[in-house]
Amino acid sequence: MFLMMLILLWCAVFVIWWYLKPRRPSPPVYPGALPIIGHAHRMLGNVLQLWQMEKEVYHFCLENGGIIEIQLGPRSVYVITDLDDCLTVANTCLDKPYIYDFGKQLYDRGLVTANALIWKPQRKLLNPAFNQQILNTFVQEYSLQAKRLTTKLTTEAGKDRFDVVPYLLKNVLGSVYKTVIGVKPNDHEQEMTLKHYAHATDKFFAMIEDRLFSVWLHLPFIFNMSYLKKKQDAVVQFLKSTTETIIMNRKSERKQTTYADSVPQATSGYKPILDLLLDIGEKQVFTDEEIREQLDTIIGAAYDSTTRAMTFCLILIGTYPKVQARIQKELQEIFDDPDRDLTRHDLPKLVYLEAVLKETLRLYPPVPRVGKSSESPVRLKHYTFPAGTTFVLSLYGMNRHAVWGADANEFNPDRWLNPDTLPDNPNAFATFSIGKRNCIGKQSAMMSMKTTLAYILRRYSVTGDIRNVQCKCDLILKQVSGHYIGLQSRT
């Protein structure tokens, strides 16, 4: 009884303090906050409802000055869609909120989860691995994987609509494994190991999602005693040991053979990113553990987001026959020989296909938001925030900002064909994030997706209906229903 009275007294004091505390000028508060818990109750529900609520938050932000407040218990989080304020936060707040620590058990000093002091020198070291000259050597491998995909899709052509995600996922994994790790074409055992690795990565992401939506598990001492932590430990141990074995085997190969003898024969001598990381390690800049963390981060960040983006693109192409006809006309003009392989010189010529892909990524960014944490006071256009403030940059909202015009929420690839119809603000297209901590793999992702889509659309016509698609969003924006497509052979 006495304990209950103390709890009630504490709640009463907290409520009085909450309403009487001095307040600085602050942004509009999103409707629906309750005393003490704020908007935390809105995080309850299924994954479809949560993504619908998140979109509503972003649209409210767009309509109310570009910055709003969300209250999670006694803590405030500020959602931003204003393009200039987003850039200010992106460039001044290089650290991430504590929820990014949920992935540190595996990724730690990787580019996504590292703190700013670690991220800066590591990003500088990794930039050369993603320059255009290196990426150009990957195109033949992207092409090879895309040809295999179109062959496998023949089993679905002319039938009912089907789920294309498993096919695209296998295609992307093949490209990532070959260009990042350098798996040899006939190394079946290692390919099977990497499939298990991908499955385990999905499990790890699902566990992060479970923890994210279980607020009590945000507290480390509670999480460390939970059954979820025990399951996560086992998955992380498998992922780490898999990557460590790959690194160890590759280091051994490099000692025993020359590079020319050990690269995959079908790739015309491209240098996998793992080898570039090992080159850095041999200069005693990266430890083996840091190489492992970067490798896990690159693979984890690449395959699911790329798969989902291409799925959205195919659905949209199937929804708009005129768009599809223009793409296929462009492909016919570039590839007069229907059997000719795509090369790196063809990619810049795929102007309309790139416009369609960019418009897809604008409307359906695979990662619709990023978190930022301030280490010092942040001054924006209308508000100043103290150190320790948590921000959410809505990439989804920036991509639908009013600067895109009255049709900002509509699918219109033509907007990308005329510079005069594009926003003057370069930060309006934020799919790959903005500022200093933007996505290092932006160009490689675009090249891979353009190559794969070109092969599919050279061989098949697509049907789909974006109006039927329902999505969820944990770490990645994903289709959960209504996303099946149909294929008809063009030959």
Q: Which pLDDT does position 1 carry in this prediction?
A: 56
Q: Which pLDDT does position 417 carry in this prediction?
A: 95
Domains and CATH numbers, the chain: 2-16+24-489 (1.10.630.10)
Q: Which pLDDT does position 265 carry in this prediction?
A: 42
Instruction: Kindly report the average pLDDT of the chain as a whole number.
Output: 89
SS3 assignment, position 79: strand
Q: Which of 5-19, 270-284, 374-388 reaches the highest mean pLDDT?
A: 374-388
Q: Which pLDDT does position 231 carry in this prediction?
A: 95
The alpha carbon of residue 121 and the mean position of all alpha carbons in its chain are separated, in whole angstroms, by 22
pLDDT tens-digit map of 5-64:
555 565 555 555 545 554 556 899 999 888 888 888 777 777 788 899 999 999 999 999
Q: Which pLDDT does position 213 carry in this prediction?
A: 80
Between CA 253 and CA 290 the distance in angstroms is 20
pLDDT tens-digit map of 164-203:
999 999 899 888 888 888 876 556 666 777 788 888 998 9
Q: Which pLDDT does position 186 carry in this prediction?
A: 56
Range name among 228-232, 268-272, 370-374 with the lowest pLDDT average: 268-272
Q: Which pLDDT does position 264 carry in this prediction?
A: 45
Greater model confidence, 211 or 360: 360
Q: What is the mean pLDDT of residues 275-281?
A: 87
Dig out the tokens for 47 from the structure. Answer: 């994954």
Q: Token match 């990023």: residue?
A: 370
Q: Which pLDDT does position 42 carry in this prediction?
A: 79
Given a cut of 60, is residue 267 above it in pLDDT? no
Q: What is the mean pLDDT of residues 240-253?
A: 90
Is residue 102 within 8 A of residue 119, CB to CB? The reply is: no
Closest CA to 295 of 420, 162, 180: 180
What percent of the chain has pLDDT above 70?
90
Between CA 138 and CA 147 the distance in angstroms is 15
Contacts for 297 with CB less than 8 Å, ≥ 6 apart: 107, 110, 111, 112, 113
Q: Which pLDDT does position 372 carry in this prediction?
A: 96
Q: Which pLDDT does position 260 carry in this prediction?
A: 47
Contacts for 439 with CB less than 8 Å, ≥ 6 apart: 301, 432, 433, 445
Contacts for 290 with CB less than 8 Å, ≥ 6 apart: 109, 122, 281
Q: Which pLDDT does position 6 carry in this prediction?
A: 54
- How sure is the predictor about 137, in pLDDT bands with cuts at 50, 70 and 90? very high
pTM metric for this prediction: 0.90
User: Phi and psi for 284 in degrees, rounded to 5?
Assistant: 60, 30
393 residue type, one letter = L
- How sure is the predictor about 73, in pLDDT bands with cuts at 50, 70 and 90? confident
SS3 assignment, position 266: helix
Q: How many residues are recorded in the chain?
A: 491
Proportion of the chain in helix, strand, coil states, percent, rounded to 5: 60, 10, 30
Given a cut of 80, is residue 92 above it in pLDDT? yes
What percent of the chain has pLDDT above 90?
67
For helices 139-152 and 165-176, the axis angle rounded to 10 degrees is: 150
pLDDT tens-digit map of 284-321:
788 889 999 999 999 888 888 999 999 999 999 999 99
Q: What letter would DSSP give residue 30?
A: P
Greater model confidence, 210 or 450: 450
Greater model confidence, 267 or 72: 72
